[in-house]
Amino acid sequence: MATAIMVHEHPFNIVEDEVWMWGFQYANSEFQKISRKTARSDCLAIYEAEKKQLKALLQGVSKISLTTDMWKSAHQVAEYMVITGHFIDAGWNLQKRVLSFVKVPAPRRGIDMADAIFKCLKAWGIENKVFSVSVDNASYNDSCLRALKDTLSLSSSLPLGGSLFHIRCCAHILNLLVQDGLGRIRDIIHNVRESVKYINYNDSRLKAFCDVVEQKRLKEKKLIIDCPTRWNSTYKMLSTALKFKVVFPAYKEREPHYNYAPSEEDWNKVEKICKLLEVFNLATHVISGSDYPTANLYLPEVWRVKQVIDNATEDGDFFIREMASSMKEKFDKYWGECNMVMAIASVLDPRCKLYVVNYCFPLIYKPDYVALENVDKVVSALKTMYDEYVGLYKEETTMGNELVNASNNFPVNVSGSSIVTGFDQIMSIVREKQAIPPMKSELEAYLEEGVYIPEGSSNSFSALEWWKNNSLKYKILSKMAADVLAIPISTVASESTFSAGGRVIDEYRSKLNEQSIEALICGGDWLRNKYGLKKKPKVFEQEEEIVLKI
């Protein structure tokens, strides 16, 4: 019962529900009811047991990347911060776990957030394993990560001197670009939204609309009312309504009180904007995944976005050119400087290597000499980072040799004499030789080989699986690739936790203490991972679908 409460976010008092309890008693006549206090105690006990297991798992992880985001409870005068860890486990699987869900006192300051994150890392014993932190573009995150970076640099060396430490959420950047476009057709969006609401107000209006659809012989079967706070939901509403653009004027003739019908010019604007947003929508979908590596998919999507913006700046329609120019300014603001994470991750995708960087950079960075400079920066950063990993590998091997030598020098009693076998000595020499990199580094060998062309669809290809299969060939580079591919380039994984937050801290449970809240949020996430369960979507965040009965 405690597991069900945590996984499905039930209230503690569900154990006092007569019908639910009747089900247990029907299945087991010896079942004894428990109180909500007992249910809470059981949940906390499960949380502590799962926390112990997760802590042991994290000890075997070399690097971990974080995402973090803020959430304000509608039922408390408080803000919460969620911290999610992303790492590659021993089986080369991408894992993510909610590590902390804590209250952040007002006023929200970057230094307070940095302290809260470091406290979390210290509690888990992973303060020396942090690779990167992905956050949205809020200004307080800049000061937070500056302080956190300074703190972590004192006790450990961050990869590439910390240049990959601060990752800006690309989904938020895409959102900023899209809002520029949608802002210019705000009135049209309002009219489309109100049109759909008007049609869906009662059965007679919907029936009248369906009659017109049937007369126009359209095969489309649905309309969508968007969730205004989510631009991709608004895009779906517009693109779906666009298919009925010939229906709305005819419907207006039948409904004298319907005053929201967009004009022909309005529909032309919607059509052109939807073509742009289609690319943004697909890019957001691809790079917002949290169950597969996304860092290696980042560069091709950014290249495609730049391509459609550039094409739009040369459109014959002044409205589209003006909108695209504004988008281009924001694109250059956020991607005008070489984004090292998306470039390195692309190179470490065996399907891309340096070919994709060489192809995409001249389009993203102008003029050509700037693109070439950025390519050189990427190659230089790759070599530097690889050398860092070689140094770490040498340290690990040296420590291993010292342990072996210590055991070899210890007297071994074989037939009354102390000896060290020849095989032991040979193994010691082999280990020393292995610690020294060969004349041609693994990175050079990897880049000189041709790109990997997967059989069938690229969608089924897993870069992690490829590195797992080639980990004996690229002992050091595969470790570096695993750490880079684990970097999440959006904060979606952390944001999704808040859909649980909305249910856990509702108006009836707003008096839960911080310990119970964290146990329910974190424990529920761990148990869903343990049993392979997906969290139910937050119903009130979804757009409403209207099925036309034709």
Q: What is the pLDDT of residues 141-167, one digit of tens each?
A: 999 999 999 999 988 889 999 999 999
| Residue 161 and residue 15 share a domain | yes
Burial degree of 294 (CB within 10 A; 0-12, 13-18, 19+): buried
Mean model confidence pLDDT for the chain: 87
The domain boundary residue, chosen from 255, 278, 301: 278
Instruction: Dump pLDDT digits (tens) for 217-235.
Output: 998 889 999 988 889 899 9
Question: Which residue, 497, 547, 529, 418, is CA-closest to 3?
Answer: 529
Lowest-confidence pick of 9-13, 55-59, 164-168? 9-13
- Give a yes or no: residue 291 inside a domain: no
| Residue 479 and residue 455 share a domain | yes
| Residue 159 and residue 37 share a domain | yes
Residue 251: domain span: 181-278
| Residue 475 and residue 522 share a domain | no
Instruction: Dump pLDDT digits (tens) for 415-434.
Output: 444 566 777 777 777 766 66
Burial degree of 379 (CB within 10 A; 0-12, 13-18, 19+): middle
The domain boundary residue, chosen from 256, 278, 300: 278
- Give a yes or no: residue 251 inside a domain: yes
| Residue 499 and residue 482 share a domain | no
Q: How many domains does the chain have?
A: 3
| Residue 90 and residue 224 share a domain | no
Per-residue pLDDT for 539 more than 60?
no
- Give a yes or no: residue 290 inside a domain: no
Query: H-type helices in 318-367, by residue range?
Result: 318-335, 340-347, 353-364
Question: Which residue, 291, 286, 318, 317, is CA-closest to 302?
Answer: 286
pLDDT of residue 180: 81
| Residue 63 and residue 99 share a domain | yes
- Give a yes or no: residue 303 inside a domain: no
| Residue 413 and residue 325 share a domain | yes
The domain boundary residue, chosen from 278, 298, 330: 278
- Give a yes or no: residue 294 inside a domain: no
- Give a yes or no: residue 102 inside a domain: yes
| Residue 193 and residue 245 share a domain | yes
Pairing, β 94-104 against β 222-225: unpaired
Burial degree of 369 (CB within 10 A; 0-12, 13-18, 19+): exposed
CA gap 56, 418 in Å, rounded:
38
- Give a yes or no: residue 304 inside a domain: no
- Give a yes or no: residue 194 inside a domain: yes
| Residue 499 and residue 468 share a domain | no
| Residue 536 and residue 506 share a domain | yes
| Residue 259 and residue 143 share a domain | no
pLDDT band at 540 (very low <50, low <70, confident <90, very high): very low
CA gap 188, 176 in Å, rounded:
19
